[in-house]
Amino acid sequence: MIAVVLAVFCGISEIPALWQAGAFCSEIFIRIFRCISMPIISLSVIVAISSCASDGHMRMIWKKTLLYTLSTTIAAATVAALLYVIISPANVISIISDAATTPAVQHGYLYHLLDTIPEDVLAAFIHHKVLSVLLISIITGICIRFIPDEEAKHIILKSFQGLHSIFLHVTRFIVLVLPIGMFGFICASIHESRTGIQMAEMGKYFLVIIAANILQGVVVLPLWLLIKGINPLKIFRGMFPALSVAFFSKSSTATLPVTMEMAENNLHIQRQTSRFVLPLCTAVNMNGCAAFIFTTVTYLMQNYGFSISPSSMILWIFIATIAAIGNAGVPMGCFMLSTSLLSSMGVPTHLMGIILPLYGVIDMVETALNVWSDACVVTAVDQYS
């Protein structure tokens, strides 16, 4: 709250030194996000894919878990895309500086597709090519699973897990000083676009996210369970304590012990299935995050003059799905990952400062949806075990 008040004061003031302080703090955090985004995305995807058990009965379980996780996450991003088209939030910025908003050079779709294939591994990370990094990470994670030498596989996997832990701790340190970044984002945003902000349109942006989460949780996932012959009300009643903890804690990882207990005791999920599927879902099953990433990236790209075509929206449905998997374990992951994706593409991120104060509410809804989706997936997997 102190950061918000100071940012508003500095943003509307006529003192250049205060504007510069806000811009300086904003630039620091943009650079930090750019620095850690690619390693976090890459390591999270590699660890999530390569650490799954692959022998006998567990192979069938992890395949179904991955299939159900990808299908529900893609559905969540698709719901967000449809609502975005229906609600059509307009730009909130009408006066923006040319230096801050020059869109990237537009190329054909085939060029962008070709550009996802890097000429060398390091170039993808150095030049912040998100799609290339995701492609490399997915291939790496899959290939680790097929290393014949079990000792070598174990060493490589532990190495990636250790690096992943390092960057997660770095992220937690960043979260501790995030109010400084919040001050910078809000101050810079107010100063650069205070004459062009229309909060009614920003309200439509929030409506898209909240409505997408609610529709996914109340309509899409229950219908998916009914198709599989599972009673969604029974699952909801059994998992309600875990959903409550997820909503107020805003952490599906912290909720995991309660989630497993409710699944095993209330839903009678097999212990072997629960102890494997739920931790995996906590890492990769991010329905709410996919909806947030799609809506946020699309909205900010639209505000800053980037072309939003139907083909680009379809592409971003899949990017948001894969990026949500890369968000595994990161505190405030959706917000930070969206900011990192935007900054890596050269899109100004000042509007994220306006989103940040209300992100806590969004995060509560998203986390509850993620845990609800985990419960649906583990139940569907268990009936085939």
58 pLDDT band (50/70/90 cuts)? low
Q: Is residue 186 part of a domain?
A: yes
Phi, psi dihedral angles at 196 (to 5 degrees): -120, 5
Match 């899959």 to its residue by tokens. 142
Q: Is residue 164 part of a domain?
A: yes
What pLDDT shows up at residue 193? Answer: 57
Q: How many domains does the chain have?
A: 1
Residue 17 in this model has a pLDDT that exceeds 50: yes
Closest CA to 94 of 204, 11, 201, 205: 201
28 pLDDT band (50/70/90 cuts)? confident
161 pLDDT band (50/70/90 cuts)? confident
108 pLDDT band (50/70/90 cuts)? very low
Q: Is residue 36 part of a domain?
A: yes
Mean of per-residue pLDDT scores for the chain: 80
Per the model's pLDDT, the better-predicted residue between 25 and 385 turns out to be 25
Q: Is residue 96 part of a domain?
A: no
What pLDDT shows up at residue 54? Answer: 56
What pLDDT shows up at residue 314? Answer: 92
CA distance 371 to 274: 13
> Could you tell me the CATH number of the domain that includes residue 239?
1.10.3860
Closest CA to 285 of 211, 209, 346, 376: 376
What pLDDT shows up at residue 120? Answer: 77
Q: Is residue 359 part of a domain?
A: yes
Digit-coded pLDDT (tens) for 294-338: 999 999 988 888 878 888 899 899 888 887 876 654 556 688 778
Digit-coded pLDDT (tens) for 67-76: 999 999 999 9
Q: Is residue 340 part of a domain?
A: yes
Domain that holds residue 63: 2-91+101-382
Per-residue tokens: 321 = 């799905």
What pLDDT shows up at residue 72? Answer: 93
Cα distances (angstroms) measured from residue 326 to each of 47, 72, 94, 243, 285: 9, 16, 33, 23, 10
Q: Is residue 180 part of a domain?
A: yes
| The dihedral sign for the CA sequence 271, 272, 274, 276 | positive
Q: Is residue 305 part of a domain?
A: yes
